Amino acid sequence: MVKKILFILFLVYSNLGFAQSISAKASVDSTVYLVGDYIHYRVNVNYDKSIKIIPPVIEDSLKNVDLIKVNNPVYAENNGRKSASFDFILSKYDSADVTIPPIDIFYRVGKDTMSQAGIDTADATLKHVQTNPVKFAVRLVKVNLQKDIKDVKAPQKIPLDWKIIILWILIALIVLGVSYYLYKRYKQKKSNQPVIKKEIKLPPHVIALNSLNTLDEKKLWQNGKIKEYHSEITEIIRRYFSERFGLHALELTTSETMELLRTTKDTEIIRDITESFLNNADMVKFAKFSPLGSVNEEMMKQAVEIVEKTIPKAEPHQKPEVENV
């Protein structure tokens, strides 16, 4: 009977000794907070080396505050004892007196591996110890409605830094210098470019009549230069045909020119006079025929008549063509 009592007492003292091998304490960094402040809630666990603890899960115990962040736990060992620190950042957005209830810290003895997931409170090997409850108050910011609204902090004057000012001045001078250099290069390049002159392109009949007038003023046949006179006057008319009708008359004979004129539109009225005009010129140039003065005058009249009879009808508001030279 005595042995049985001693055995029971041994078990009780053993359990009491074991119960003192782990402890857990919860705390916060202040007892009064303002609405929206960060509340640093910490759970410190001190335990024997043979104990394996499971990091606490506090979400279900937080009824009146919000969990902002869970920091990584910090483990340490000193004089054969271990300690673990679990930090949580909380906050509350309304004024109230808050009590965080005791938190269960689950652990096992003599197990090498443990997992937080799948905690079975009915497991006989799983034990737990509770932290103390933690109380604190959350208050609104006191506002004196009788006073003017002020900034949280007074405006601060930034002292002048002469190094920065000098640096900005140098940058401005460099930018101005580069801009001036580029402007000068642009002006120099522009001044070296050839000036494009616009020249009015006269219609073929105006050019031809001006050329005939110039030829008449030269007085070639009157000065005995009959062949030169007939060569120039036929060249003016042939060039007119080239520009007015698109015929390469400068390179064609009289018969070839007449052939093309017979198949060219708007030339019916000048075909007979042109044939007479070109044949007379051929006789002077190739047969060494010396015509009378009246024939030379008639040649000029025929040339002017050929041009004037083939002047295209002017369209309303038609402007002379302009070419860049």
If phi > 0 it is left, if psi is from -120 to 50 it is alpha, else beta; for residue 219 that is left
- Please tell me the predicted confidence (pLDDT) of residue 152: 58
Mean of pLDDT values over 72-78: 92
pLDDT confidence band for 124 (50 / 70 / 90): low
Mean of pLDDT values over 61-87: 90
Res 292 pLDDT > 80: no
Mean of pLDDT values over 35-42: 93
Q: Give whole-number Cα distances, 133 to 99, 103, 138, in Å.
A: 7, 8, 16
Residue 284, amino acid: V
Query: Helix/strand/coil (H, E, C) string of 211-246?
Result: HHHHHHHHCCHHHCCHHHHHHHHHHHHHHHHHHHHC
Tokens 């309303």 sit on residue? 316
Is 105 in contact with 131 (CB distance < 8 Å)?
yes
251-262, pLDDT tens digit by residue? 888 888 888 888
- Please tell me the predicted confidence (pLDDT) of residue 303: 87
Q: Give whole-number Cα distances, 226 to 39, 246, 305, in Å.
A: 122, 29, 21
Res 131 pLDDT > 80: yes
144-175, pLDDT tens digit by residue? 666 666 665 666 777 777 888 898 999 999 99
Mean of pLDDT values over 6-26: 59
Mean of pLDDT values over 89-100: 91
- Alpha carbons 224 and 285: distance in angstroms, whole number: 14
Mean of pLDDT values over 103-109: 90
In this structure, CATH architecture of domain 21-139: Sandwich (2.60)
Res 198 pLDDT > 80: no
Q: What is the mean pLDDT of the chain?
A: 81
Res 10 pLDDT > 50: no
* Cross-strand pairs, 46: 23, 83
Angle between helices 226-245 and 254-262 (to 10 degrees): 30
Res 42 pLDDT > 90: yes
- Please tell me the predicted confidence (pLDDT) of residue 324: 54
Beta-sheet strand order (sheet of 96-100): 32-34, 134-139, 96-100
Res 15 pLDDT > 50: no
Pairing verdict, β 66-70 and 127-130:
unpaired
Res 111 pLDDT > 60: no
Res 50 pLDDT > 80: yes
